[in-house]
């Protein structure tokens, strides 16, 4: 966490000093942390839709035909991702989570979809999704069983990887239930990574390796990044403010460990976006979208695209916020400071721009005013000698030109966030 800013005594430094500071910041933010998984994928955070938080393991298609885990559900979501603007703004992966499988493997030891709920099989569904210009994600588990009790991949890593490739799968979410040891867990994640690459098909590899390692020891993120495209660190997100807040707390508490390892090809995954569901207020939905952009997180929605409000849809499709999330510099943001229930997060962006999120964590009272020196932002160089500031959330507003000595005043709703973009300017 950055807790101190540069303190310069003159209002406008000589041009050479300004350029030197900018160059130093650019160099520091381009220093690579670790090698990434060498499959050429996830060069920006993955975007798409994942069924788990909203639809869970609902397999009762007789009583709930419109919300059970089935071929019908995914075809409907694919149609909407194609027709309702989701694909155009970057939501590309339609992802199946747990509970898609038949209870047993077939006679050749291969995984198979439940024949009643997925009558066409996964190959048919993948082909359909591809005709919509989308990609299909699927779920499996490193252990003996999935978390919901379906067949796990332990002992079948190579055949499962080949099966997924033959079906035309584009992403694998690999869970970590039912492993006998941390060593078995790590070996399984490595084995599946190599098996996927060996198929020759481009398959994004989403791991939960550190999530299941933390209770026993600190994960080796350098190693994890060499095998995975993104990785879950903390528990499942729920449709509640307490859940979202706990993920942010975990991330900021552990940011010295996790922020530096994120970058093109490998990302920290704080779990799904629950925007458009039932548990978050509007301001809390704004906070989740803003902070997931700051954290360079995969943007995997879990909601019902058939019944989403225009307001939630506009938030999820906000191109300026998505541009921050997908910024090609590929640096994860961090918590800069926290005091009196106000948090300030920032993230370096391409072309010496910065994103800043100011969060009001207070859950009582009304909107709060907060004033900050622009010289304290972006490691002292974001607005040196000046910058143009745009408020992106909750309402897009051009705030205008700010010199390095200026102060910025904002007003933030309880549990809400003001998301800003700072563009470097000369005087």
Instruction: Please list the active-site residues.
Output: 175, 236
Helix ranges (H only) for 295-375 are 310-316, 319-325
* Closest among 153, 36, 179, 26 to 101, alpha carbons compared: 153
Tokens 């406008």, residue located? 12
Separation CA 344–CA 419 (nearest Å): 10
Biggest CA pair distance of the chain: 77
In contact, 334 and 259? CB cutoff 8 Å: yes
In contact, 81 and 37? CB cutoff 8 Å: no
In contact, 122 and 157? CB cutoff 8 Å: no
Separation CA 18–CA 4 (nearest Å): 19
In contact, 418 and 355? CB cutoff 8 Å: no
- The four Cα atoms 372, 376, 381, 383 give a dihedral, to 10 degrees, of 10
Separation CA 332–CA 335 (nearest Å): 10
Task: Find residue 359's DSSP bridge partners.
Answer: 343, 417
Rounded to 5°, angle at Cα 229 from 277 and 265: 110
Which is it for strands 135-141 and 93-95: parallel, antiparallel or unpaired? parallel
267-269: strand order across its sheet: 267-269, 230-232, 204-207, 171-175, 135-141, 93-95, 47-50, 299-301
Instruction: Write the CB contacts of 177 (distance below 8 Å, at least 6 apart in sequence).
Output: 141, 143, 145, 146, 147, 152
Separation CA 349–CA 340 (nearest Å): 28
Burial of residue 67 (CB within 10 Å: 0-12, 13-18, 19+) is: middle
């Amino acid at each position: 966490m950055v807790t101190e800013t540069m303190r310069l005594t003159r209002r406008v430094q000589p041009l050479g000093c300004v350029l030197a500071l900018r160059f130093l910041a650019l160099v520091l933010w381009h220093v690579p942390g670790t090698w990434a998984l060498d499959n050429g994928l996830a060069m920006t955070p993955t975007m798409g839709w994942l069924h788990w938080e909203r639809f869970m393991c609902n397999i009762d298609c007789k009583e709930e035909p419109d919300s059970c885990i089935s071929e019908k559900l995914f075809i409907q979501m694919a149609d909407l991702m194609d027709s309702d603007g989701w694909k155009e703004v970057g939501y590309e992966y339609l992802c199946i989570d747990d509970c898609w499988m038949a209870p047993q493997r077939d006679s050749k030891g291969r995984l198979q979809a439940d024949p009643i709920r997925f009558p066409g099989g996964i190959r048919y569904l993948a082909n359909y999704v591809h005709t919509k210009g989308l990609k299909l994600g699927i779920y499996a588990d490193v252990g003996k069983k999935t978390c919901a009790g379906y067949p796990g991949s332990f002992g079948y890593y190579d055949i499962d990887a080949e099966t997924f490739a033959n079906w035309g799968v584009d992403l694998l979410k690999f869970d970590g239930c039912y492993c006998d040891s941390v060593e078995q867990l790590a070996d399984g994640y490595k084995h599946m990574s190599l098996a996927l690459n060996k198929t020759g098909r481009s398959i994004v590899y989403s791991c939960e390796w550190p999530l299941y390692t933390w209770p026993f020891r600190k994960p080796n993120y350098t190693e994890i990044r060499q095998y995975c495209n993104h990785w879950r660190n903390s528990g499942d997100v729920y449709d509640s403010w307490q859940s979202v807040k706990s993920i942010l707390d975990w991330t900021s508490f552990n940011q010295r460990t996790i922020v530096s390892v994120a970058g093109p090809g490998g990302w920290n995954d704080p779990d799904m976006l629950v925007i458009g569901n039932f548990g978050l207020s509007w301001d809390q939905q704004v906070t989740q979208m803003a902070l997931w952009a700051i954290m360079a997180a995969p943007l995997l929605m879990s909601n019902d695209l058939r019944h989403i409000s225009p307001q939630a849809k506009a938030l999820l499709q906000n191109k300026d916020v998505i541009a921050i999330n997908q910024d090609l510099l590929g640096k994860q943001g961090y918590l800069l400071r926290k005091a009196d229930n106000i948090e300030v997060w920032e993230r370096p962006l391409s072309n010496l721009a910065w994103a800043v999120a100011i969060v009001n964590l207070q859950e009582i009272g009304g909107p709060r005013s907060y004033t900050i020196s622009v010289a304290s932002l972006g490691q002292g160089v974001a607005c040196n000698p000046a910058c143009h500031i745009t408020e992106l959330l909750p309402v897009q507003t051009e705030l205008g030109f700010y010199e390095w000595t200026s102060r910025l005043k904002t007003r933030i709703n309880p549990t809400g966030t003001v998301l800003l973009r700072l563009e470097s300017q000369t005087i």
